[in-house]
Chains A and B, each alone.
Chain A
Amino acid sequence: MSADNNTSEPLFSKKNKMLITDPLTDNNPVTIQVLGICSALAITVQVSQAIVMSLSVLFVIIMGNLIVSLLRNLIPSRIRIIVQLLVVASLVIIVDQVLAAFLPDLSAKLSVFVGLIITNCIIMGRLEAFAMANKPWPSILDGLGNGLGYGAILILVAVFRELFGSGTLMGIPIFGNSLPGEESGLYTIGYQNNNLMILPPMALIITGVIIWVQRARNKALIEEH
């Protein structure tokens, strides 16, 4: 990822496109770099929460990358991590406040998870590894790619957990009514929701399975020791 080429590069050059597509596949922040696992555990119980979390992270990572990239030639290297942290923290507070003012119901649902965006290693990782050394436009694309790559895994894990843990998707019952005494659909023939799905260990196991599937399909991803 060399930086600062000549300025005549087209906006969506091949290299720039790679910035978006790479994190979605062979350089996924969650499954390949194994970052941001903590939030993959915390908010993948319901798909709707995972989507909102993905969008919030997407906003913070794009804006953070842009701001740090604009400031990259000014930031003294001794305090660069603190500067990055300040930028991310301020952005997260902005997201939190705007959600509380304009989407109060959603804000209540997300509660502390918005604050937890600050601790998402993907964001700090991209600021340090990419935005500090690249121009604003590629930094935006890099943020977009990594945000989407993170969101895709988050939502995929959430789909499995919500479907088999609660029998719903986006809150809509898929297998019928599971309430004791009012069973319908699959539940009448003895199907049970798997409570383990809702507990945090299952998020790790599902993420592990995704990593396994991905590496089984693309042998180049397997690290050699």
Chain B
Amino acid sequence: MAINKESTSFTFGFAIVLVSVLGLILATLSEGLKERTKDNIKIKKQLDILSAMIDIEKEGITRDNAEDEFPNYINLEDAIILNHKGELKKTDESLEAFDVDIKKENRDKTLSNEDKNYPLFIAKGKKVDKTKYIIPVVGKGLWGPIWGYICLKEDMNTILGVSFDHKTETPGLGAEINKAFFMDRWKDSKIMDEQGAFVKYEVVKDNSGAIKGDSKIDGITGGTITSKGVEEMVNRSLKIYSNYFRNLNSK
């Protein structure tokens, strides 16, 4: 061979060419798929929000028609952003509640509590008979982030349904938080007592959560840390939002 492929200059040249070619391929691919991926994420968020309120399978809402169906339930112009005390937050006009990335904000250690945004989606579209309220929540599981949406009924107090999801919880154990049997346990419980005080949720191990509609929820066997993560996530968020609903109710 004419070139000495073990020479330093060839080694450098080879490395530079290879990295440039691979970099170019990956950058093109990423750029080319960006819109699609962004749409997918948006649609997934819409499905997650809706599934806290309704049975999306029964309503026939899939990835394909989510974008058309979503406005029938939720008009994003009704959505509001609260601050950490549960008051309406003065935000940039351009910041939409739907675009608030609470996962990122929750992770961001430099962001003070005052600066965090707490979006609230209000469902009063034509397919919703009485106004529902949907609260996004985010927290930590055993291995990675967990998140979800909690839908309150028109009384701004009773949980209509929840949808939880996770990134990397243990399959068969912590990962079960996104299964119907676990999410159903939250239904019909109230986030405030008769005096309007926030009621803390408790994830328990002793089967005392079997009674539906109270604030004790049966955890997942073998998924204790994830279950506790859900408990912390729900309590931290609902406490903030309950302030808003209490003020709204007392007016």
* Residues in A lying within 8 Å of B, measured CB to CB: 43, 45-46, 49, 73-79, 82-83, 86-87, 90, 93-94, 97-98, 100-102, 104-105, 108, 111-112, 162, 165-166, 179-181, 195, 198-199
Additional 18 contacts, C-beta under 8 A, given A86-B19, A108-B44: A46-B171, A75-B5, A76-B5, A76-B6, A76-B10, A79-B11, A82-B15, A83-B15, A86-B18, A93-B26, A97-B29, A100-B40, A105-B63, A111-B168, A166-B172, A179-B181, A195-B173, A199-B222
Q: Would you call the interface of chain A mostly helix, strand, loop, or mixed?
A: helix
Judge if B170 is at the interface, Cβ distance under 8 Å.
Answer: yes
Residue of B nearest to A200 (CB): B170
A90 and B26 contact, CB distance less than 8 A: yes
Q: Please, how many angstroms separate the alpha-carbon atoms of A94 and B2 in the complex?
A: 35
Q: Contacts A100-B33, A101-B40, A198-B173: A75 and B26 contacting too (C-beta < 8 A)?
A: no
Which of B's residues lie within 8 Å of A, judged by CB? 1, 5-6, 10-11, 14-15, 18-19, 22, 25-26, 29-30, 33, 36-37, 40-41, 43-44, 63, 144, 167-168, 170-173, 181, 207, 210, 221-222
The total of interchain contacts (Cβ-Cβ below 8 angstroms) comes to 83
B4: min CB distance to chain A, Å: 10
Please give me the residue from chain A that is nearest to B181 by CB atom: A179
Say which residue of A74, A90, A108 sits within 8 Å of B25 (CB atoms). Answer: A90
A181 CA to B40 CA, complexed, in Å: 38
Taking the closest CB of chain A, its distance from the CB of B22, in whole angstroms, is 5
Within the complex, the shortest CB–CB distance from B49 to chain A, in Å, comes to 16
Residue in A49, A101, A102, A198 with the greatest tally of chain B CB atoms within 10 Å: A101
Which of B10, B40, B170, B221 is packed against the most chain A CB atoms within 10 Å? B40
| B6 with A198: CB separation less than 8 A | no
Q: List 14 A-B contacts (CB under 8 A).
A: A43-B171, A49-B171, A76-B6, A83-B18, A86-B18, A93-B26, A98-B29, A100-B40, A101-B37, A112-B168, A165-B172, A180-B207, A181-B210, A198-B222
Specify the chain B residue showing the minimal Cβ separation from A162. B172
Shortest distance between the CB of A76 and any CB in chain B (Å): 4
The docked-state distance in angstroms from the alpha carbon of A98 to that of B221 is 35
Docked CA distance A33–B173 (Å):
31
Known: A78-B6, A94-B26, A97-B30. A198 touches B44 (CB 8 A): no
* Contact pick for B36, options A45, A101, A181, CB 8 Å: A101
